[in-house]
Amino acid sequence: MRNLILLLVTIFIISCNRIDKVSEKEKNLLELQIDSLKQLSENLTTTRSFLFESALNLEETDKETAISIYKTITESKQGDFWAVESEKRILDLTKEEVIKKNTRFVFSKDFYWLFGDTLELFQQNEKCGEWGGDIEKIRIFWELRKLIGYYTKETFDCDSLERGYIYGRAIPSIYKSKEIEITPQQIELLKETIISLTEYQLNNLDFFGNSGIVNAIQVKGKDGSFKKFFVQDYPSFYWNKFHKLKNDMVK
């Protein structure tokens, strides 16, 4: 639309400079066409504004319709303010659905995708400030067609932890629970635990800090070698689901 208006304005300017070839009637017609296009553009902007506000009001009661309206706005004019804002609203509204879709894929067939690897849920607390703190881990893996899991905790003395950073690795006291077969109920809790950290990490706006809780979900090989991260968050939160799963496994 903007390009069309510019084209007509250009034609109009050229015509004004060539009075001998363009009649007064033709110039008046061009002026009317330009005015009409400008008015149409203004009306479209008003319409997009109205549609955007309508979609906002529908988000809570009819999310699908709201998304459909936002898509109509984005398709009508690329780069326009309302198109850009509509794209943002679509992303915000579909984020939760994308997370659920992704987690359904990851959790398909109750963790059979692990194969010979180990899923590790990791948390380091902040009891020693910038030096870190105790480390807790939940490890899940397959063995003889059974999903097995256990819990470990590395407890550090803050003085030794500080000295360890300066002179070498600090030596913790280590607790390891017995290995257990993960029940169907624990599988569901494990899924909820992973989802809770994923959702928190996506909405966590704290990116820097000298101390804080570290939470992570990663996959390791049987020899403990790093394979890949699913989620890592710092500074993070207490992660209630992690501790609920831990307590259920060691009871």
Query: Using one digit for the tens of pLDDT, what is the confidence trace for 213-234?
Result: 999 999 987 677 777 777 888 8
Report residue 37: phi and psi, to 5°: -65, -40
* pLDDT score recorded for residue 84: 73
CA trace torsion 24, 28, 29, 31 (10° rounding) = 140
With cut-offs at 50, 70 and 90, classify the pLDDT of residue 62: confident
Contacts of residue 170, defined as CB under 8 A and 6 or more positions apart, other chains included, come to: 156, 157, 160, 161, 163, 164
Residue 45: predicted pLDDT: 60
Domain boundaries, the chain: 2-103, 110-250
The number of beta carbons lying within 10 Å of the beta carbon of residue 48 is 21
**Averaged pLDDT, 130-159:** 91
Predicted local distance difference test score (pLDDT) of residue 18: 47
**Residue 242 pLDDT more than 50?**
yes
**What local confidence, expressed as pLDDT, does residue 179 receive?**
95
Give the integer Cα–Cα distance in Å for 121 and 219: 9
**Distance between CA atoms of residues 73 and 90, nearest Å:** 11
Average pLDDT of every residue of the chain: 76
The encoded tokens of residue 227 equal 């394979």
Q: What is the dihedral of CA 228, 218, 152, 115, to 10 degrees?
A: -80
Say how far residue 17 (Cα) sits from the centre of its chain: 57
Q: Is the pTM of this model over 0.75?
A: no
Region 148-166: what's the mean pLDDT?
83
User: Of the given ranges (55-59, 96-100, 152-156), which has the lowest mean pLDDT?
Assistant: 96-100
